Amino acid sequence: MPKDKEEKIEEIKFPDIPEAVLPADGPRLETLIGKIKTVSAVPSWTPRNLYEQLVIYKSGATIRLYVYDNTNLAWNYTALT
């Protein structure tokens, strides 16, 4: 491309994002460790709080972490190894 026809590329500047400030109250991950309920049947209840939204399911060699989705009102899981 000839120099007089070169396209000028504009530099994009992103705004600085301040460090996240964690809330002083409410549940935090470190308070959940050791308090996650372990069950042997797939969860089917509607949880009332964050502690009930995380469940470890164990059945034989199958281990899953279930998480309740408040938007879709459904349990989802991922396999653990």
Task: Indicate whether 1 pLDDT > 60.
Answer: no
For residues 37 and 69, give the distance between their C-alpha atoms in angstroms, rounded to a whole number.
17
- The span from the CA of 32 to the CA of 55, in Å, is 11
The per-residue pLDDT for 25 is 72
Q: How far apart are CA 7 and CA 25, in angstroms?
A: 53
pLDDT band at residue 59 using 50, 70 and 90 as cut-offs: very high
Give the tens place of pLDDT for each residue, 2-54: 566 667 777 878 777 676 666 667 666 666 667 889 999 999 999 998 889 99
pLDDT at 73 over 80: yes
Q: What type of residue is 56?
A: I
Query: What's the CA gap between 23 and 64, in Å, rounded?
Result: 29
The pLDDT score that the predictor gives to residue 72 is: 94
Q: What are phi and psi for residue 18, nearest 5 degrees?
A: -65, 155
Neighbouring C-beta atoms of residue 35, cutoff 10 Å: 9
